Amino acid sequence: MIFILISLLISILPLSVSGQTGTRAQKAPDDITKWTNKTIMWVGPHQDDESGCLGTLSLLKANGNKIVMVWYTTGNKGSRDLDMTSERLAQIRKIESEKACGEMGITPATDTFICLGYDDGMLEYVPEKELCEKVCRLIRQYRPDAVFTMDPGTTWMKWLKTDHRMSAFITLDGARAAAYHLYFPNHRINEGLHPFTVTDYFFYSTGESNCEVDVTSVSDKKIRAHAWYVSQFGAGNFKYVGPEPDQENIKKQLSSNAERIAKGEKIYERFRRLSESMSF
């Protein structure tokens, strides 16, 4: 009798301790660079924020995975050029981003590019429920095997600029809501979109990385890609001189990259990978 009681106690212990689903068996995360035929979603606020993980996305694309790129804003504010207008900047940023992604083999023609159209710098002033629903719908629609986004942090915190703060948190909020049919039930009833649980997150711009991806093989492409953000960095932010990137600067960077690689250095992109559901 005592034996039976003890067995019963052991069998229910994990549930009672956690109050949720019990102890989860930890398995070693698989190597994402070996993935094929999966859907990968990147979500971020601005047309250059993708640059933090374009190497990894490029490797995934080359392996036959489908890439879905989602920008919250049009990037229409971040210029110091007094002759620039918001409308023109939005057009420039869209093209720059497409060119950069194009260098890495990711294009609107072969992949999915979505811009939610919000004003740059104003994401924290948009009703959060509205943003949450938009992300939730996209997750249910595209059902990504992995989501790449900026790290909202766990123990680690840093100051993130306004849109980055909102993007980091609301992307997870939206992904979590997507797992439960009672959040935004209109998606299922009116649009036929069923709940979906994301189980693999790659957070970048992180202070808690636990995963690195060797992007040495595409590091030259990354340099060429980054050069397309003419209106974002250097002199082009003060006086737009694009759309063509600075070829001399590209040459210099390629040569220094070649020296690093010749010395045996590897180029990495680093992430905090969370390989479990956020549906709690």
Binding status of residue 96 toward Zn ion by CB under 5 A: no
Sign of CA dihedral 266, 47, 133, 154: positive
Radius of gyration of the chain (CA): 21
Which residue lies nearer to Zn ion by CB, 46 or 222? 46
Tokens of 62: 């080359």
Whole-number minimum distance, CB 46 to Zn ion, in Å? 3
Q: What stretch of H or E contains 128?
A: helix 128-142
> 234 by DSSP, 3-state: which?
coil
Which tokens in the block code for residue 279?
């549906």
| Least Cβ distance, residue 180 to Zn ion (angstroms) | 30
**Distance from C-alpha of 266 to C-alpha of 274, rounded to nearest angstrom:** 24
184/271 with CB nearer Zn ion: 271
Shortest Cβ 49–Zn ion spacing (Å): 4
Give the nearer residue to Zn ion in terms of CB position, either 78 or 174. Answer: 78
Smallest CA-to-CA distance from 148 within 19, 272, 10, 280 is with 272
Minimum distance of Zn ion from residue 73's CB (angstroms): 8
Angle at 236 between CA 119 and CA 168, to 5 degrees: 40
Would you give the distance in Å from CA 231 to the centre of its chain?
A: 22
**Minimum distance of Zn ion from residue 62's CB (angstroms):** 26
* Among the residue ranges 28-36, 46-54, 79-87, 261-269, the one whose residues contact Zn ion (CB under 5 A): 46-54
Of positions 49, 103, 133, 173, contacts Zn ion by CB under 5 A: 49
Region from 25-33, 40-48, 62-70, 258-266 binding Zn ion, contact rule CB under 5 A: 40-48
Q: Among 29-37, 43-51, 84-92, 208-216, which window interacts with Zn ion (CB under 5 A)? A: 43-51
Which range in 45-53, 106-114, 194-202, 204-212 contacts Zn ion by CB under 5 A? Answer: 45-53
User: Rounded to the nearest whole angstrom, what is the least distance from the CB of residue 112 to Zn ion in the complex?
Assistant: 20
List CB contacts of 81: < 8 A, sequence separation 6 or more: 231, 237, 238, 239, 240
Selected range binding Zn ion among 47-55, 149-157, 187-195, 245-253, rule: CB under 5 A: 47-55
Dig out the tokens for 191 from the structure: 């649009």
Q: Closest distance between Zn ion and the C-beta of residue 140, in Å?
A: 26
| Closest to Zn ion by CB, 49 or 103 | 49
Stretch that binds Zn ion, among 48-56, 137-145, 182-190, 242-250 (CB under 5 A): 48-56
- Using the rule CB under 5 A, which residue among 40, 46, 203, 272 binds Zn ion? 46
**Which of 278, 243, 3 has its CA nearest to residue 136?**
278
CA atoms within 13 A on the CB side of 4: 1
**Alpha carbon 67 to its chain's center:** 11
**Tokens coding 223:** 């340099």
> What is the nearest approach in angstroms of Zn ion to the Cβ of residue 10?
50
- In the complex with Zn ion, the residue whose CB is nearer, 49 or 269, is 49
Q: Which helix (H) or strand (E) holds 271?
A: strand 268-274
Nearer to Zn ion by Cβ, of 51 and 58: the residue is: 51
Interface contacts to Zn ion, rule CB under 5 A: 46, 49
